[in-house]
Structure 1
């Protein structure tokens, strides 16, 4: 390779790093913190709040004006003379567990009451569980019906005065039913039932009356404890995964190296010297150790100056040590250069955010006391950390031995957390987007 080709290759790498850094800065600005991986935002879902008086077996039941109670008023002569009513909205799927309850005020003549889940096109003259893509727990025989008119042994019968509930555990992909606050049983949710499901109740003999609770009042079943137990189960699964004792040590050490926390690193090494076997995580992952130890003392010094607000001193050090990342010249030249650099980001999906950030930064110049202005948030300590992290990445990008052009952006620990986030989102996608949205902050806390 001739010198021209080497030069073009270096420029190409530098341009790629610069572009990555630009997007990196926008990422930091968006989340307001320099260390947290971006998590997927979720739109709010409509929840069931009342019974649907339009889509029901109106000829056999009466729905109370509050749309939370039903009573069978017909005369049951045939198997299809069922009074069925669904909730007004389908089950929200972006959560750990969904649950609702019914209170049997009157079991009527035969106690043929059922609770369950049905699809949008369910035949409204059939008990939940008698048709495909539906399930139901029936009070007169205690059987569980899953897509056919033949039931399976499941739990006790229920009658006047009982509170019965139905739920979906999206983490385990299971349905469950309860009686008077205790779980009766669970069963797997078939993939065919990943479609839109509605909480459903049915009455089938004269004078049967049921009140439904979609969460407007306290459940007989302890839903919060159920969710806590599910999270504890996941935590125990994670804790049972074997890791070499020095792995976490290596990740923390690499993190301190990456961000130039030299003093903390020395204290960390001293404290763990007698208890943790040495590990060189960079080498184990195919990277040279110089990638993260490069210019450690200088990066520490610049970071401290930026965090202390000593910007002039930080700029002077950067001019002396890394003139290639500091533009020196007249104000007119600096403005011209800035316009060229900012233009690179136009047309990107982040354009609107970037424009807003630039306008906010420019607006600071109009105030004698910018800290007291509406744009003073840009001068907060958390924003200094964003600047310090960005400068740290720029210094790492000058390392001629840097093989991974993205290695200057995040530490190994952050890359691992991003991988964890991506895997959890992918797993949730495999479940049809159902289940609680992944939250790294909640997981770490």
Structure 2
């Protein structure tokens, strides 16, 4: 497990990606991207605050005599509940007379004549005394004071439900736990001359948010892998072997089976896989006649499948054009292909036959508008159709158990993001496909 952990850490910083959208970390749905906090709201601020510099700079212009003279501002949109981490910073342009400046989060119904943290459903870190406030006018000692020139940040880790603050790029301890709900970035000022300017990701943060997010993602994945389900589950080992056999990786399957003592059934299944792989390999190399001959011997029932035969003959038609054997291609089209289309009365097949027949109109098909039909990927597509037909004939599922598991994982991650699970927003399918 220790070796795996070290490998995971190394791969994380080399390969794994952290989705960043300004002040937000996480895979954010497109409809939410336009609602990320990016400035203070002109309609959701106290009248004592002057708003400038594209709604990022706040200047206190109130009397500044009593607590009731405090003035707060919130952003237009709340922190997206579907993100993993949210962070923003303010620069204290001027601490003014007393430096009664607070930064934090608050709900939409919190009074704008209060510093963040003084009222229910709000929390904050204040510069004059370094105290942290939550739902109360009485604070608790938390961190250093801050004043003119300092840059202070607020980070809400929605995965863990914790909030901490930063000063001049250095993270301070966790200030609040069990933080949840619909909260808005908030700043409060209270005495004349106080000026702050916010950064919601429009410029580089002083705090290294990306490194913090990477470490959080590493911790999350370590907890997932720490359960050792992937390391000790014999069923999964068997599923891996099933995948290798399913895909025709016969040599690898034999080695894997021997090294892991898995799959007593593997010999019989390997023989089937060898046959499937052999025929599909012939298709991939353009040897259609040879593939059809081998198919007649091993899978005679598939030879009765008109749709499969049509695809094979169409590819044969293309291969004849590729080799310059136009007369043989025309003969094949007039006889077998037209007959198949007529018997099946299949409009889709008829359309495809017309499409590949367009190759006959060009003296040099490889440099014509229809040259895409000569692409080697067409061979692979036919080979896949054939492999699916073989699996169906053997009463095997089209997908191996491991492939189905991966698809289920993808759907699960998408569903978790849809229901706004914070941890899921930090993950992607690629994180689990160790290369």
What is the TM-score normalised by the length of structure 2?
A: 0.72
Partner of 1:398: 393
- The partner residue of 1:299 within 259, 273, 276 is 276
- Asked if 1 retains the 8 angstrom alpha-carbon contact of 2:49 and 2:58, the reply is yes
By percentage of residues, which structure has more helix?
A: 2
Partner of 1:16: none
Output the aligned Cα RMSD. Answer: 3.6
Identify if the C-alpha distance between structure 1 residues 408 and 178 changes in structure 2 by more than 3 Å, giving closer, same or farther.
Answer: same
Q: Structure 2 stretches of 5 or more lacking a match?
A: 1-26, 310-335
Q: Does 1:127 align with 2:115?
A: yes
Secondary structure of 2:341's match?
helix
Distance (whole Å) between structure 2 residues aligned to residue 378 and residue 252 of structure 1: 35
Distance (whole Å) between structure 2 residues aligned to residue 216 and residue 115 of structure 1: 18
- The partner residue of 1:420 within 383, 401, 409 is 409
- Asked if 1 retains the 8 angstrom alpha-carbon contact of 2:95 and 2:195, the reply is yes
Partner of 2:261: 278
Distance (whole Å) between structure 2 residues aligned to residue 166 and residue 370 of structure 1: 63
What is the TM-score normalised by the length of structure 1?
A: 0.71
Query: For 1:13-412, what aligned pairs fall within 5 Å after superposition?
Result: 42-43=29-30, 45-46=33-34, 47-57=36-46, 59-186=47-174, 187-191=176-180, 193=181, 195=182, 197-242=183-228, 243-244=231-232, 250-266=238-254, 268-269=255-256, 273=258, 276-280=259-263, 293=270, 295-320=272-297, 321=299, 322-327=302-307, 331-334=338-341, 337=344, 339=346, 363=355, 365-367=357-359, 368=362, 384-399=379-394, 402=395, 408-412=397-401
Distance (whole Å) between structure 2 residues aligned to residue 428 and residue 170 of structure 1: 13
Deviation of 1:384 (Å): 4.6
- Asked if 2 retains the 8 angstrom alpha-carbon contact of 1:86 and 1:198, the reply is yes
Distance (whole Å) between structure 1 residues aligned to residue 219 and residue 373 of structure 2: 42
- Asked if 2 retains the 8 angstrom alpha-carbon contact of 1:319 and 1:326, the reply is no
Deviations 1:106-157 (A, max 9, x none): 1112211111122344432222233343322222232323334343443222
Distance (whole Å) between structure 2 residues aligned to residue 80 and residue 377 of structure 1: 73
- Asked if 1 retains the 8 angstrom alpha-carbon contact of 2:28 and 2:83, the reply is no
Deviation of 1:422 (Å): 4.2
Q: Structure 1 stretches of 5 or more lacking a match?
A: 1-39, 343-357
- Asked if 2 retains the 8 angstrom alpha-carbon contact of 1:93 and 1:435, the reply is no
- Asked if 2 retains the 8 angstrom alpha-carbon contact of 1:360 and 1:375, the reply is no
- Work out which of the two has the higher radius of gyration on C-alpha atoms and give 1 or 2: 2
Identify if the C-alpha distance between structure 1 residues 306 and 134 changes in structure 2 by more than 3 Å, giving closer, same or farther.
Answer: farther
Identify if the C-alpha distance between structure 1 residues 241 and 323 changes in structure 2 by more than 3 Å, giving closer, same or farther.
Answer: same
Deviations 1:184-224 (A, max 9, x none): 13233444x1x3x3222111111111111112222111011
Distance (whole Å) between structure 1 residues aligned to residue 373 and residue 160 of structure 2: 44
